[in-house]
Amino acid sequence: MKKILLAAAIAAMPAAAALAQTGSVNGYSDAEAAKAKAAITAAGFTAGSVASAQGGALFVNATKGADKYVITVMADGTLHPGKPMGVAPTVPTAPMALPQGSPMPSRNVGRGARNDD
């Protein structure tokens, strides 16, 4: 019984240490998110939601005009906007009719044409 309790206590130690930290590598506080969004707004973008965080950097969705961006906000406050993602291109729809004089065979070719002579 003592061995089981000792093993459980040892297994729980890393989790307790992680909870005792003020922040985690991939976490951020509301204040950090607000600071990042303020910096993005000051740079002329419209800040959206925080997509993720890693090592003190926040990755924030943002827009500018019709383009969409993911902006990396570093811990020191510098911004690194990614390439604009823009809007997905649309493909015009057209009827599936073939133009006149196309080299497509008639409907009966290839289906065992019948000779009723």
Per-domain residue ranges of the chain: 25-87
Distances (CA, A) of 47 to 6, 63, 67, 88: 49, 7, 12, 20
Residue 39 pLDDT > 60: yes
pLDDT value at 19 more than 50 = no
Mean pLDDT for the chain?
A: 75
**Higher local confidence (pLDDT), 20 or 62:** 62
Residue 17, pLDDT above cutoff 70: no
Q: For residue 66, what pLDDT is reported?
A: 87
Band (15; pLDDT cuts 50, 70, 90): very low
Question: pTM for the full model?
Answer: 0.55
Sign of the Cα torsion 105, 109, 114, 117 reads: positive
